[in-house]
A and B are shown apart, each in its own frame.
Chain A
């Protein structure tokens, strides 16, 4: 363990959620890289069967098993720390569960044949989620021969905000299915891990109305269920290049294109007056649109601030997310104390 203080010391399970399109998987991966930095071992878990992690790290689809997928970088940029990945397949998790608790792998195979596992993992309400969260919390608790935890942290790329509280509310989910019995017992065990201070649920958002609203609603739902929240990760933040005064003028649609005409001529971008004017008015329109967006972003940022939850910002990567971008985001998270 490194001596650095971070905002989430003591948290071993980082659950990452967010509205579709906010970059949930990307941030989860960056967070795993950041947490692994300093010689730690982190497991990145995927549950939606999309193989998003493999794609992000330029790997072939992950099998059901924990594989090393990336090396984290330490303070001097030297390799220091490991990220493992696991794509949980509910069917395999079901067989694991049968073996672990009942020693029945062979019976499990037989069940698969007649569709029981298919039923249990896709049709039985909530069971699928319990299996997935169960497998994840097993990885969190797993210890080596010396009684030390195998993973310093586990990052779970969870379902989107709209489904997160149901997904995590395992006890409730199986309540209709089983009020007593083995599944209920298993769900209670999982709930114990999820509701403990070792867990934090992070929300990924953009500075847009819907994702911000979903984040605020999601936080309230979590609280109502007694589950521990983590931070808010504001993703794809654009750099502020235009001075605030100009932005305010532009937002009102009052930017004077003549200023731009002079500037464009000085920069040698326009030959005649009319060309300069054409370009200037088009540029002014672009700035106006940008200014309106900035104002909206400002409003959304304030709404997020009112939640009093720690917030982190991640820049929009101009070239899209690639491996280098992931490391950049990880560094950015470390710099802000998120990991």
Chain B
């Protein structure tokens, strides 16, 4: 197997020029845990870190000694060394509300905040979470309070929604459709649809049929109120986008050594390259390895079979079977990983070994952090 260059995580987090680390990957690969472990390691190596998570398991919050995570960064206690670790969870509705409150006079803000369309847009639009995550990232960056921000990306339905969503929302809010929708309001009444040409008339008719007239009206009021507050959602979207491309930002792709996750990882890497986003490497979680690679799966299984046939040493036979399975699994995982390394040979890789249990405390995060730093799974129980 062609060995990928090792990913030097410690160099990355120690470098004061590194200001933002974005962890991305498909669902269920341990993205959030990776972000938290990285954050802890960076803090314990002297950085002042905030981890922005989008969808944390309750247990992860607990592992950092926080009963809950909310929209405000909370200090994590019990970290070693001079650095600091803060953690927060994105509350997308709160973040959206704050943008409105910050940019509108109280009366107008009220008008927007109580609009039914705004309420659903801010709490359940499939792109709002991505948009607000990026917005929050921008806020944290500009506050200058932390010298390292680590963010894990939303579990999007398609890999890089968080890159596309701001653009999409911006495009929508700035777009032709909105101009059509707001035209009547600006002209002083819904009948203003008549001002539009026949094609648009058909469109308006269809919209009313599909959405219903009341929805259309909600959207119109919302958009015109918002438009007056700040024209240029797209501009904001572009700013966050540029922030991601800037030097000082580092993308880490997270995966596990299984086909789907590796395929997604490859896709991520390609998309990031297309978007000229600075990729620093791949983290492969939940890797199985063995300390005794000299004892192959086949030899181990054959020996087990022989012991079983002779009816001797049943425990040794069972243990050999177990080892054989483990070697087989390790080989399969390596093959899956090779799919990635053969197509992306220059992407640095680090690995974290599979743990028997989930992370429950800072020690657990620390162990993962150590592996991220050293790049190769250490002996687990064997050396303990």
Contact = CB atoms under 8 A, between A and B. Distances in A.
A269 interface: yes
Contacts of A110: 199, 202-203, 206
Q: Which of A19, A116, A179, A287 has the most CB of B within 10 A?
A: A116
Nearest to B215: A178
Interface string A4-33: 000000000000000111100100000000
B119 interface: yes
Which of B158, B168, B260, B326 has most A Cβ within 10 Å?
A: B260
Interface in A144-186: 159-160, 162, 166, 173, 175-184
A286 B290 contact: yes
A166 B322 contact: no
A115 B316 contact: no
A139 interface: no
A285 interface: yes
Nearest to A116: B177
A264 interface: yes
Nearest to A322: B259
Contacts of A102: 206, 209-210
Contacts of B57: 210, 213
A303 interface: no
Interface residues on B, range: 35 or more
Given A120-B210, A279-B292, A114 B203 contact: yes
Contacts of A55: 260, 263
Contacts of A181: 211-215
B141 to A, nearest CB: 26
A313 B28 CA distance: 20
A119 B179 CA distance: 13
A270 B27 CA distance: 43
Nearest to B383: A285
Contacts of A114: 176-177, 180, 203
Nearest to B212: A181
A77 interface: no
Given A114-B176, A266-B316, A49 B215 contact: no
B295 A20 contact: no
A177 B120 contact: yes
B203 A263 contact: no
A312 B306 CA distance: 33
A19 B323 CA distance: 29
Interface in A265-305: 266-269, 278-279, 281-290, 292-293, 296
Contacts of B202: 107, 110
A296 B210 CA distance: 51
A243 interface: yes
How big is the A interface, by class?
A: 35 or more
A116 B379 CA distance: 56
Contacts of A97: 210
A123 B157 contact: no
B203 A267 contact: no
A270 B380 CA distance: 24
A259 B315 contact: yes
B322 A173 contact: no
A184 B332 contact: no
Contact of A263 (B121, B175, B317): B317
B177 A283 contact: no
Given A122-B126, A128-B126, A181-B211, A262 B172 contact: no
Given A182-B209, A319-B332, A286 B157 contact: no
Given A19-B27, A115-B175, A178-B212, A266 B381 contact: no
Given A48-B157, A282-B291, A282-B292, 19 more contacts: A49-B157, A52-B260, A98-B210, A102-B210, A115-B172, A116-B203, A123-B127, A160-B155, A173-B124, A243-B318, A260-B315, A263-B317, A267-B303, A267-B313, A267-B320, A278-B292, A289-B356, A292-B357, A293-B356
9 contacts: A52-B260, A104-B206, A110-B202, A110-B203, A123-B127, A175-B120, A176-B117, A182-B212, A262-B316
Interface of A: 19-22, 25, 48-50, 52, 55, 97-98, 102, 104, 107-108, 110-111, 114-116, 118-120, 122-126, 128, 159-160, 162, 166, 173, 175-184, 208-210, 213, 238, 241-243, 246, 253, 259-260, 262-264, 266-269, 278-279, 281-290, 292-293, 296, 318-321
Interface of B: 26-29, 55, 57, 59, 116-117, 119-121, 123-127, 155, 157-158, 168-169, 171-172, 175-177, 180, 199, 202-203, 205-207, 209-215, 256, 258-261, 263, 290-292, 295, 299-300, 303-304, 306-307, 312-323, 325-326, 328-329, 332, 336, 356-358, 379-382
